[in-house]
Structure 1
Amino acid sequence: MRPEEITAALRAFDASIAAGTANSWPALQELARTLLGAKLFTVMTVDVRQRLSRREYTSDPRNYPVSGTRPIHHDRWFDVVHTGRKTFVANTLADIATVFADYETIGALGCGSVLNIPVIVAGELLGTVNCLDVEHHYTEQRVTRSHLLEIPAKLAFLAAGC
C-alpha cells in the first residue's frame, strides 16, 4: 500500500467522524478494510470490573449479530489482549480454534486468520477491534500497518460513547 493511499484512507475516516452524520463503526470498518483487509469486522466492548464483553458492531449481523453480554474467559487470547495489551494474531483456522469456540463458523465464512487490536484509553481497556480474513492474511506487514488503526479506534470508541 502506497503512503498516499494510507493518507487518503485516514482522511476519509477523519471526514466521516468530523461530519458526525454516521455511526463511527462503519467508518472504522472501511478504514480497516482499506488498510488491512477484513472479510469480517467486529467491535467488542469490555467491562473489566464485571468481567463481561459485548459485540457492539458487526459487518455480518446474520452470522455475528450485535449481542448481549458474555463472560470474559481467561486463556492465551486474554493473556495477550487483556493482560499484555497487545494485538492478537492467529493466521490459521487451527490456531483460531485454540482460543475461539466459534471457529467452525469463522471457517464457514471463509475466514482463517484473525487480528484483534486492543483499544486502551486513559489506562483502561475499552474493547477490541477485530478483523478476520482468509488464512495467512495478516502478514507481518499488515500487522505492522494495523498500528495505524489504534488512534482512529480510540476516536471511534469515544465518539460512540464507549
Structure 2
Amino acid sequence: MRSVQSPDLQRLALAMREPAQPLTLFKTVEAVAAETIGFRLLTIMAYDASRHEVQRLHTNMPDVYPAGGRKKKQGTAWATRVLHELRPFRGETAQDIRNAFDDHSVMADMGLGSILNIPIAYDGVCVGTMNLTHVEHWYTSDHEDVGLLLGAFLAPALIAHAARCAQEEPRA
C-alpha cells in the first residue's frame, strides 16, 4: 500500500468533471484504490434506505458480480455498522466474511478472505458503499482511512443515481 498523494486527489477531482458519468469516476476511483489500498474484487453499491437494499453500480468482475445486482440489507450487524452508523466494516478472515455475507462461498471460491466495506455518506446519510475484497489479512485500519477518503469522491455520483431513480419511480 502507498499513501494517497496530491496527484491521486487531482485525478479524482478531474474525473468528476468529465462526461460519461458515473463510469468515468468509478473507473478512476477503482484505479486509485488499486494503487493505494489494493483489492482483487471491487464493487460500488448504491443504498436505497426506503427499500433497505443495495444495488451494484460498478464492479471490476462483471462476470461474477454483474452491475445491477441487488441485495436486501436489513436487520444485520453489518447493516447497522455500515449503513446506519456510517462506520467501515473490515473482515480480516474468510470466517469474518462467512459471518457477515450470504455470498461468502462465492468469495471463498475466488480465494478472497478479507473485505473492507466503506460507507459513502452525505449530510449524515449513507448513499452507498465501496467494497474491496482481497486475500486473508490484507486490510488494516490504515486502509479504512484511505477508503473513506477515496469513497468521498463517490458521493455525488451516488446522490445523482438516487435522484434519477426517484424520478423514474411510478407515482401513486
Q: Does the pair score TM above 0.5?
A: yes
Structure 1 residue aligned with 2:45 = 44
Structure 2 residue aligned with 1:60 = 61
CA distance in 1, matches of 2:117, 2:104: 15
Classify 1:144/1:69 alpha carbon distance in 2 versus 1 (closer, same or farther; 3 Å). Answer: closer
CA contact (8 A) 1:9 1:34 kept: no
Shift >3 Å, 4+ stretches: none
CA contact (8 A) 2:2 2:35 kept: no
5+ residue gaps, structure 1, are none
Question: What TM-score results when the alignment is normalised by the length of structure 1?
Answer: 0.87
Return the letter of the residue paired with 1:71. K
Moved more, 78-87 or 141-150: 141-150
CA distance in 2, matches of 1:148, 1:68: 25
The aligned runs of 1:1-162 (5 Å cut-off) are: 6-21=5-20, 23=23, 24-158=25-159, 161-162=161-162
CA distance in 2, matches of 1:101, 1:71: 11
CA contact (8 A) 1:80 1:86 kept: yes
Moved more, 82-91 or 19-28: 19-28
Question: What TM-score results when the alignment is normalised by the length of structure 2?
Answer: 0.82
CA distance in 2, matches of 1:140, 1:124: 22
RMSD: 2.0
CA contact (8 A) 2:37 2:147 kept: yes
Classify 1:53/1:141 alpha carbon distance in 2 versus 1 (closer, same or farther; 3 Å). Answer: closer
Report Cα offsets for 1:13-59 as digits up to 9, x if no partner: 22222232452211111121122111100011121112222111111
> How many aligned residue pairs are there?
160
CA distance in 1, matches of 2:151, 2:65: 23
2:108 match: secondary structure = helix
CA contact (8 A) 2:92 2:115 kept: yes
CA distance in 1, matches of 2:156, 2:33: 14
Return the letter of the residue paired with 2:161. G
5+ residue gaps, structure 2, are 163-172
Structure 1 residue 96 displacement after superposition:
0.5
Classify 1:33/1:2 alpha carbon distance in 2 versus 1 (closer, same or farther; 3 Å). Answer: closer
